[in-house]
Amino acid sequence: MHLNPTLSKKILAWYDNSKRNLPWRVSKNSPKKLYYRLLSEFMLQQTQVKTVIPYFNKFIKKHKTLESLSKINENQILKLWEGLGYYRRARNLLATAKLLLKKYNSKLPDTLKEIKKLPGVGDYTANALLGLIYNKPTIAIDGNVKRVFARYLNKRESKINFEKLISLNKKKLFITNRNSDFIEALMEFGALICKPKDPKCSQCCLNKSCRYLKSSKKIKIFKRKKTKIMNYNIFCYVNKKKQIALTKENEISFLKDFNLPLMKKMKNNSIKEDWKFLKNYKNSISNLNLNINLYYKFSNKIPKSYNWFYINNNKELIPSFTKKIFNQVLTLF
């Protein structure tokens, strides 16, 4: 599969005129480049740009350098990350920052193999960092990039070996010395023009050579994600001081290591009489839809693995999922 040699020049020209003003896009010689790129790439894993921007700005205001970030502890970074979700990213970011200072003299390794040894860094992030920091001719293959190439060739993504496609067309894709710009331009183009639904074909700089646009049998791109529905009972110990008892000993894998009330999958077993029903509500985490029955009990005695937390004022990390429970429990007072 061969690509048109003008593809990269056209996308770069579009990018120069239409790119978004994002806070992590600093000049190539900026001393902030590594820190800003590292921080943004970790945050952008599984999270949209518009959601990331305020968190990114909060981080760089609090910690202006990689060195500053590396000196905080896990509880501090989790508190800063609070609400962004997928908290393992925060732990990996902190571990990577500490490792870069200790082992690599505050620099990013310059090979894909070494970058992938950093905590939480897989193929995509490694390729992105290698290209963005060192201007290497590599492409971070995400959903946006796959969609651009799939539409351009009018082939289903499952039928394309993207690594092979890029390797075969490397000389055509990297014909300038703007490799880092091209990496971003390709992702930006997929996000703003070659969108999953309702692509802006009339504004597309590739429409003269795009097979998808010309074909009478266009491939289907947009796939609705299947959401899994899970049913849970949540049991909240509360007291008159507006406190709720939370524990980290829960069997819920996607909320492991966080402070939560007791959660149990709904079964046909009857609920003990001393637990009072408060509310049924819906919540969602990633591709999971949760159907929740919330129960409560006023009590001053709690199991050993629990600790009391004030519902209104907490310095501890409280994930968004738990905060929504807090809001429901507040109606009791």
- Residue 41 is among the residues annotated as catalytic for this protein: yes
d(CA 290, CA 271): 19
Catalytic residue among 41, 82, 184, 188: 41
8-state DSSP, 226: P
| Contact present, 246 and 307 (Cβ < 8 Å) | yes
d(CA 247, CA 304): 9
Tokens of 205: 């700089």
d(CA 175, CA 16): 16
First to last CA, the chain: 66
Tokens of 57: 């700005």
d(CA 12, CA 326): 48
Sequence length of the chain is 333
Catalytic residues: 41
